[in-house]
Each structure stands twice: as structure tokens, then as C-alpha cells.
Structure 1
Amino acid sequence: ADGVYLDGRRPESVTFCDARGDAMRRDFTINAMFYDPMEDRVVDLVGGGRDIEAGLIRTVGDPRERFGEDHLRMLRAARLAAALNFSIDRETEDAIRDLAPNIRSVSGERVRDELIRIMDSPNRAEGIRYLDRLNLLGEILPEVAALKGEKQSPTLHPEGDVYEHTLLAMEQLGETDFRTAMSVFLHDIGKPAARLERNAFHGHETCGAEAARDVCRRLKMSSSEMDCICWAITKHLTFKDARRMKESTLRRLLGHECFQVLLELHRADSIASTGDLSNYEFVQAKLEKYADEPILPPPLVRGDDLLALGAEQGPLVGEILKKVTDAQLEGRLA
């Protein structure tokens, strides 16, 4: 049995107890059942089996007490409901709505880990809808909550405001990694800051990358995850220029270590708006073209080579290397 909870996360003490005492310290009824291998039976002291059959997420005992013990359980309720296609018990839901501000006291790492689990689920968009309905989204990700009601051009975005577009884009994702899911989730969070007249958002990809970096830092993501997510957001409008790019520019883009994240972001973004995948298909064809050779082959000339030939160290060396690499990538030099 648990002692008193003073920090909204862990008890001051834990003591041995019987099965009922153990069950009563759990978060939700569906997580509070036991298997008795000696008698080959399920021990259910809190109605977890009944709630599974009913498709219901319900706390063990008083929901306000359970969420007071560990505030993260509120996020877990949203995750479980979305992942299992369950609904949330009314009393449990009301308690979460009232206690939602308490989630701000939970560390960024713990919020991140729960968000990773939401993003890993095929029902990730429904998970975000649950966070919104439970008043949790605005507490942990106010940048995303601010997208609700942010109008867009009905021609380019007949699906609705930026928030609905974001959820629709997330629904286009199949099994994917956390970086890709978060890139799609955050790709338009710069639109409120970049809004101009007539539903135009020039520069929102730059504003969005800056805002996404703040989110990633707050959630204590790794530098590599943060850099990849922010790069994809910065570049997510690049595909509209793909057909006009020099071959060297396009190959540098295709060869970036996070290009597959960007490619999936563009696909989901396109389907969730106009549905036009012509640029996506053009880039896919380019990838197939280079399937049997390195997209970014080893350089023909390096800086040390130029210095050995007597070139002076400085900007000119970089300019020469770029021109040589451009010619190599465009097939003019081999």
C-alpha cells in the first residue's frame, strides 16, 4: 500500500499489502487486475473486466484522489482511451477537466514519454482530440491549442482551420517514428505568428521551426530529434519548388539524413489540404532514379586538396568546392 503523496508523483512510503490493497493503489480499473497462475484465473477486485467489456477508462476509486497521487495519470487516461478506442467514465473525465492545470507540475521528460506513446498509436489524432476535450492540450502544448479557429484559405485548405488540418494530416500517417509524427503535429504552429491579411501565412515555416524548438526543449527531447523535427518544419514548403530546382540542389535535399521525415510530412500535409501529390510523386521518381547510386557521392575534391595545391584558406576555397560539387551532382563532372 502507498503512503501519503506529497509531490503529485510518488508516495512517501510503500508497504507490503494483500491483493485488494495492491489493486486499490493502481490508476485505472483495467490496469488493476491480476493473474493467479496457481489457479489459472484472473483476479478482478475493482471491476476491470466489466470496464474492458464496456470499453471504459475508469479510475480505481475516487478519480480526484488518483490524479492527485500522480498528475501524469490524466495524460495516461487520454492515451489509453485513444489507443484502445475506449471512452472515459464521466466522473473520471470531469475530474481531469477540473485538475488539468496540475499537469504543468509534471516534468517535461514524463510528459514527453507519454506523448511518445500517444504518437506511436495509429489513433494518435484521436489521442490529441482527447487531450483537447480534457483541457490538457492547452496546458502542455498551448502552441497547438492556439491553432483552433485559425482560419485558412478555403481554396488551399477546404478542410477547415489550422487545427483541423493538423489532425487530418496526422490521420494520414501509418506506422511511423516519433520524429515524423511530431513534425506533422507541429508543422503549422508558426501560422498564428506569421498571419498576414487574407489568410496568408508567409514565413510560417520559419516561425514554426522556432516555436517547435521551444516545444522540443520544454519536452527535453534529444538534440538529434529536435534538429530533425525543426529542419523538416523549416523545409516543409520546399516541395512546391522541386521541379524548378537545380539537380545539385535537389540531390542535396534528397540526401539529407532527415529527408524521409520531410517526405512523409509533405505527403500527409498534401493529402490533408488539396490532395495534390504531384510533387510528392516527382520526388519519389527522383529517389528511384538514384536507387542504384549514392544520392550524395563522395566528393571529388576536398578542401585539403586545394590547400595542397597552394590555394589560400578562406571563402574562395568553399566557393570552389561548392561549384565542383554542383558539377558532380549535375553529371557535368565525374
Structure 2
Amino acid sequence: MNFEVWPEAIELGEMFADAGYELALVGGPVRDLLLQRPSHDLDFCTSARPEEFEPILKRWGHDGFWDMGRKFGTLGALRRRPDGTEVKVEVTTYRSDVYDPESRKPEVSYGDSLEGDLSRRDFTVNAMALRVPQLEFVDPFGGANDLQRKVLRTPVDPRQSFDDDPLRMMRAVRFVAQLGFSIEPETAEAICDMGSRLEIVSAERVRDELTKLLLSDRPRAGIEAFVDSGLADIVFPEIPALQLEIDEHHRHKDVFEHTMIVIDRAVALETGPDGPVPGPDLVLRLAALMHDIGKPKTRRFEPGGKVTFRHHDAVGAKLTRRRLKALRFDHHVVDDVSGLVDLHLRFHGYVDEPWTDSAVRRYVKDAGPLYERLNRLTRADVTTRNRRKALVFSTAMDEMEQRVRELKEQEDLKAIRPDLDGNEIIAELGIEPGPEVGAAYRHMLDYRLDHGPVEHDVAVAELHRWYDERNADQ
């Protein structure tokens, strides 16, 4: 095979060879070379121990060096090209990652050959190597053939592989999403049988795999593989729970299938880098995945065969917060995704009866920085096959968004505040700071949302009117 390899990789290989050590490009970069896909970071493995290759790597990477992975046998370095682009490399000693049955973290033991290192990797398509500087292609497990067939298969017996590192099962469904591959039957069977082994893996590592899956080009395919494999039952049970049994009269949609369609539609509604929701957007995709997870708990069969899911938005928001916290997502992600789930039905009332300007202001204020994502989630959630209903909904959303644009030209909806602040309220009413000031502030905020910005004397008159009426009632 002929390879066009980064000159920096060749140079690093020559430096290792001069010192008497083997060096090979491994894993994803080799796979991407064969797929003719760009790789931004280069992974290598070597016969040298970290303390032996550290000075070589520091000489090569004169623009940066890091050793956070030292305990795993990994060191990294950075070099900047004259055009400003960066080449990042990580070099790891030949190794084996093995889990103790009771441990949540892998133990590291060093190996002594490239072929042995490759045998311990997750899948054959990642168990190929390119020795540098000689450019010798090494493929002991048929990875190139599996790459051509778009099949995921483990280099060794899948049960041994997943026992050594259970996270590889999550990687399998992630690669379904990222690469569009299928999982080889024996490997898929092992995943179904061994899913409970994932329980020893830390939530953070599972979260990272799930994040990569969702940010891929094919998140729906990955989620379907995640559920079909049984892995979701272990780490994200709210998703397979959406596979509700359809009642005999088909009074409600297949909620799981609906969710998959919503994910596809949400991805399609993401924007380019200069748009309001640049894709891939983790918050929007998580919200699309989780927007209906409150339905299984709220499903009710009413008289006459009607099926309802009352308050599934509020229930779903609580479930979303709980699950994302358990998976150790950043608190901003937790807040934003649960907020979108809570708000995802808010717009539907507009379709029946267009809102007042006051209601539009409240919608924008409640959505806050999530406004653009909320509108895209709301649009994606309309999966009806009734063209008339779909058109009515889309037209109503277009109209509401236009009204928001017009209101924004008149006032700053993102920074809506009462026309009087707390200090002005205290001065006008002659009261001390306390709960009464808070009540007055909330009333003036409601007044601002209802009436828009008003002159100062109008706001003062309204404050006194409210205060006098409040005191008269007490």
C-alpha cells in the first residue's frame, strides 16, 4: 500500500530509530488514512518506556509537552507548522489495559511487541499500524478487510476483549454512529450477553462515549444500536423505556420511533458556524433524545380509549436532570437540557390562539439563551404525517418568530427588567429592604412584560397604585 504520511511522523520515527526504539502510527489515524479522512491528532506506540522516550519527544515537540497520561505509559507533544497549524502526537508504550473484576479503572501492564499491542485493541479496524519511518503496514487481524466491509469485529474473542475493557462495548455503538459500520454478529451477541459488565466503568467514561456518539454524523443509528444491544438498559434506561407497547387502536405513536425522527430533524435544523445553533450541538441533541422520557410514567388510558401523557414535560425535565447528573454531565448541560425538556410543549398553545405581545415576551424571557434551540426542538417535535397540520404549525412558528424579531427592534427582550429597579422602589415607597421590595419588583416585572417599556412617571404611578391596593387589602 502507498501512504501519504505526515512528514512530522516520519521525522519522529527517525528519531526513535536512531535511539534504537520501534515506533508505529496506530489506531484511528491509520484507519483514517485508509478511509482518506483527515486526522488532527496522531497516536503512536513504541517499544520504549516513557522515561526512555521522554527526551526524544521533548526535542521533537518544541511547542508543547504534556505527561498527564504518564501512569498509563502515555506522553504527548505539540509542534506548530510555519502556516500556524498544529500537529499533536501522543506516544504510548506497548501495553495491555485490563480490568480487575472489582475495579472501575483499568490496570496498565507493558507489552513487548507491536503485534501484541494491536491484539489488545478494541476492534480490528483500530488494530492496524504503520511502522515509521519505514512505512511498513501491519494488519495481523484483517482490519483493512473489515474496514472495506464496514464491519466492527474484535481482534480476539469478543468476550475476552469486553472482559478486559467493558467500555469497548460503548465504543462499538459509538462507531456505528461515527463510521456508519455494523457490528459483526458474534461481537453483537457478546455485547448483549455482557452489558452488565459496564457497571464497573466510571460514569465519566460512559458519558464521554455517549457524547461522541451524539455529536457524530449519524446519532440516530448509534442510539438504535445502543438500545438494541441492551447497553442502554444498563446506563440510560429511560431511552429503551420509550418503546411503549402500542394500544390496539393505535391511539398514540411509537414514542421511541418518534424520538428517533425528532433527533434526525433536530440535527437537520442545526446551523453553520455563523448561525444561532452551530452544529453539532450537544444540548439540542440531548434534548431531542430526552424530550419525551416523561411519557412512560405519565401514560394514562382514559375512557373511550384515549391515551394521555399529562405533564410529561415537567416529569421528563426531572428525569432528565437526574439521569444527566448520574452520568456526570457538566451542570450547564444539565440545566440547559432539562430546561428545554420542560419548555418543549410551551409553543403549542400559540397554534390554537396567537399570543398577545405579553405572552410572546414571556416565552422569550423564559427561554432565555435557549430560545433558538427551543424553537428548533419544537419544530423537530412535529412529526405528524398530516400535511395540513404540519403546515399550520410551521406557519404559526414562522409568525411567532417574526413577531419576536419585530419586538426585538423595539426593545431588548434578552434584558427585560422592570422600569424601576430595587433602589428606586425603596425610594418611591419609603420602605426598608426586604420581602415587600421583592414583591414590588416582581409586580413591576409582570407589568413590564404585559405592557412593554413605559415612561418613568407611568411606572411610578403603577407602583404606587399596586402598593396602595395591596395595603388596602391587608
- The partner residue of 1:218 within 326, 349, 352 is 326
Which has the higher mean CA deviation after the structures are superposed, 179-188 or 168-177? 168-177
Q: SS at 2:107's partner residue?
A: coil
Q: Percent identity?
A: 32
1:257 to 369, 372, 376: 369
Asked if 2 retains the 8 angstrom alpha-carbon contact of 1:209 and 1:230, the reply is: yes
Q: Please give the alpha-carbon distance, in whole angstroms, between the structure 2 residues aligned to 1:81 and 1:214.
A: 27
Q: Which residue of the partner structure matches residue 452 of structure 2?
A: 331
Q: Which amino acid aligns with 1:247?
A: D
CA deviation string 1:68-108 (max 9, x = no partner): 01111101101102221111111111111110122222222
Alpha-carbon distance in structure 2 between the residues aligned to 1:91 and 1:136: 16
* Inter-CA distance 6–164: structure 2 relative to 1 (3 Å threshold): same
Q: 1:301 aligns with which of 402, 412, 420?
A: 420
Give deviations 1:178-199, integer Å, cap 9, x for gaps. Answer: 1111111111111121112221
**Correspondence for 2:403:** 286
Q: Deviations for 1:111-136, whole angstroms, at most 9, x for unmatched residues?
A: 11111111101311111110122111
> What does residue 283 of structure 2 align with?
179
**2:152 is equivalent to residue 57 of structure 1:** yes
Shift of 1:14: 1.9
Alignment of 1:150-299 (within 5 A): 150-151=245-246, 160-174=253-267, 175-197=279-301, 198-242=306-350, 244-255=354-365, 256-271=368-383, 275=390, 276-292=393-409, 293-297=411-415, 299=417
Instruction: Go from structure 1 to structure 2 and tell me whether the alpha carbon gap of 1:282 and 1:152 turns closer, same or farther (over 3 Å shift).
Output: farther
Alignment partner of 1:142: what SS? coil
CA deviations on 1:262-319 (whole Å, 9 max, x unpaired) are: 2221111113676332342233213332454521346332112211331344554344
Deviations 1:146-195 (A, max 9, x none): 111244898996xx311111111111122332111111111111112111
Q: In structure 2, the residue corresponding to 1:143 is in which secondary structure?
A: coil
Q: Judging changes above 3 Å, is the alpha-carbon distance between structure 1 residues 63 and 166 closer, same or farther for their aligned structure 2 residues?
A: same
Cα 1:280–1:151 shift into 2, 3 Å: farther
Calculate the aligned-residue CA RMSD, in Å. 2.5
SS in 2 for 1:81: helix
Whole-angstrom CA distance in 2 between matches of 1:181 and 1:21: 39
Bigger Cα Rg = 2
User: Any conservation in 1 of the 2:97–2:107 contact (CA below 8 Å)?
Assistant: yes
Match of 2:441 in 1: 321
Distance 1:273 1:196, change over 3 A: farther
SS at match of 2:315: helix
From 123, 126, 142, give the equivalent of 1:47: 142
The whole-number CA distance in structure 2 between the counterparts of 1:70 and 1:270 is 41
Change (3 A) 1:146 1:36: same
Structure 2 distance, partners of 1:115, 1:15, is 29
CA distance in 2, matches of 1:305, 1:270: 46
Q: Normalised by the size of structure 1, how large is the TM-score?
A: 0.90
Partner of 2:90: none
Stretches of structure 1 that go unaligned for 5 or more consecutive residues are none
